[in-house]
Structure 1
């Protein structure tokens, strides 16, 4: 069986999940990856069979915790997206799995190829998933219409609906023996290193390990150690941390809660999905900060003395992949049956195709 797997590369979470899923997917057949986006910092060269690439529709951040809409608009080309969708050979594959990737969605719609939208964003097709008190119309539109598919399998912190499964947790995290070596792990790519240093240096009694896109090797600045982004290095830091401060994404918060680590989140300003995640994380007693304000130091100290709820997994990675494959196969079989029925009704078209 030939499997087309479209992976969004606007951050590290989608790629990290794809790397974890790959051995399980390959048990079902040959997997080709379409990597779309240009914001990831992870090396995929040895870990993912990337056959197709695109700059896609990428997210860019300002240095103050928000989205850089001007830069995003400048890099967006509708004509290029249309051409790439037209040229993407989704019709040559037995099943198509789409992790919130727009070009693949357009390609499947043009060619009438069924696909499964699989991942965290798919869960937002359910209105039972937590949202902020004030919904954002544009944000809801993006979550539900950015990558439409024939079927959806979502991932979230809790099973809010029947098509929503547990997070995919890396084997490294699943098999870890968590320990507290006293440091706090920080991953906030939507803030500059300068801003982070300015705030974290005030907490002199706490050691911080900050993962940064800027540094190429370890840099120590008093109580702050800046480290280059590396999947294994970040895992080790998180496993042995006292707590984790990060954005309100999905993968890292899920792993932190699974490990039983204390978690604090600062959602990216203007990113509706993160605001939704933040609402869900409040059910785990996770503090949500809008920004690093004058009260940040006190907030960190109070947080480290607090108690939080631990994440429990209801599905294994193997069972999640099995569910995705089963659903995708069903869609393909339905399409084949519909085509056979149509050709039976229109025998002249059937003869034309055979000729």
Structure 2
């Protein structure tokens, strides 16, 4: 079986999930080609696991100062280039198209009648999961941005639907943690504002990651560029994480048992819904604005933190794809088997 795997490159969560899937594919010696879109080639890092991958411009969402801008999103994408990439993408050699919210491969596969499997967090919103800030526009985008005839969603609970646990990589888990160390990943926020707020809490060390940061230390602030190994090392030894309400990083924090404070991207339905789900499940707290009092309260909390041990979801998904039975009943069986292996610890 030859597979084309499209991955949305705008967020690092999609890449993290794809790395786990790539290792699972390699373990079965499957022939997989990778296409990434959503950022320029020079903005990708630690991509060796994907071999000779392909990059396209694709479509992406524009953000400014912690808010999703629909206007900038609409005018900032090159729709002519996107359409050309969809229409010229050669799928003749592929038996299956797999897409993680990547629109070129999804639409190309749909137009050519290929089996398209949409995998990741977004398909979970086809079901009755916690939702906030949703409307017809956001629901349409969630469903049609990267359509797939088979939709395999992931979330922090099954919510009595054929939803899978998250794919997480926690091989970097440390034996011990540093109680005053906090990792911060708020790439959509104004970084000067982030630094100004956290500098007022000198009793904690904040390791602030952002794509354009230059490695430096300013008092209790450790500014670092986005990376894989450095970020994983700091994530494994920190006591808590302040981040946007993306799915993959939150999942890693839950699996590592890290205290979690999320600030959802304003006007972004998925992140608002994630924040709601984290709160309901008791996995994290929500920060609406960069308020120092709320951050101090969260830092000083002594509430117990749940740690969730997830099974090897990536390997099970690859096996499921190879078996070829992609019907909804089979998805439910896969979901039930995986959730039976999930263990929650305190």
After TM superposition, the score normalised by the length of structure 1 is 0.84
> Are the counterparts in 1 of residues 182 and 239 from structure 2 also a CA contact under 8 Å?
yes
Q: Deviations over 1:98-126 (max 9, x none)?
A: 11112222111211111111111111111
The residue that corresponds to 2:340 in the other structure is none
SS in structure 2 opposite 1:91?
A: coil
Per the TM alignment, residue 152 of structure 1 is displaced from its structure 2 partner at its CA by: 1.2
The aligned length equals 324
> Are the counterparts in 1 of residues 184 and 208 from structure 2 also a CA contact under 8 Å?
yes
The residue that corresponds to 2:122 in the other structure is 121
In structure 1, what is the Cα distance between the partners aligned to 2:203 and 2:117? 48
SS in structure 1 opposite 2:87?
A: helix
Note the residue ranges of structure 1 that are not aligned, 5 or more in a row: 333-355
The residue that corresponds to 1:23 in the other structure is 23
SS in structure 2 opposite 1:208?
A: strand
In structure 2, what is the Cα distance between the partners aligned to 1:86 and 1:100? 18
In structure 1, what is the Cα distance between the partners aligned to 2:58 and 2:137? 20
The residue that corresponds to 2:253 in the other structure is 256
Pair member with larger Rg: 1
In structure 2, what is the Cα distance between the partners aligned to 1:78 and 1:72? 11
The root-mean-square deviation of aligned C-alpha atoms, in Å, is 2.2
The residue that corresponds to 2:232 in the other structure is 235
Verify: 1:94 aligned to 2:95, yes or no: yes
In structure 1, what is the Cα distance between the partners aligned to 2:120 and 2:149? 14
The residue that corresponds to 1:160 in the other structure is 159
Per the TM alignment, residue 70 of structure 1 is displaced from its structure 2 partner at its CA by: 4.0
Per the TM alignment, residue 245 of structure 1 is displaced from its structure 2 partner at its CA by: 0.5
Q: Deviations over 1:238-267 (max 9, x none)?
A: 111110000100111111111111000000
SS in structure 1 opposite 2:156?
A: coil
Q: Deviations over 1:149-202 (max 9, x none)?
A: 1111111111224421111111524x5435235210100001122111110011
In structure 2, what is the Cα distance between the partners aligned to 1:42 and 1:238? 20
Corresponding residue to 1:274 among 258, 271, 275: 271
In structure 1, what is the Cα distance between the partners aligned to 2:311 and 2:276? 21
Verify: 1:57 aligned to 2:59, yes or no: yes
The residue that corresponds to 2:314 in the other structure is 317
C-alpha spacing 1:274/1:203, structure 2 compared with 1 (3 Å): same
In structure 1, what is the Cα distance between the partners aligned to 2:260 and 2:47? 31
C-alpha spacing 1:163/1:90, structure 2 compared with 1 (3 Å): farther
Note the residue ranges of structure 2 that are not aligned, 5 or more in a row: 328-346
In structure 2, what is the Cα distance between the partners aligned to 1:193 and 1:170? 27
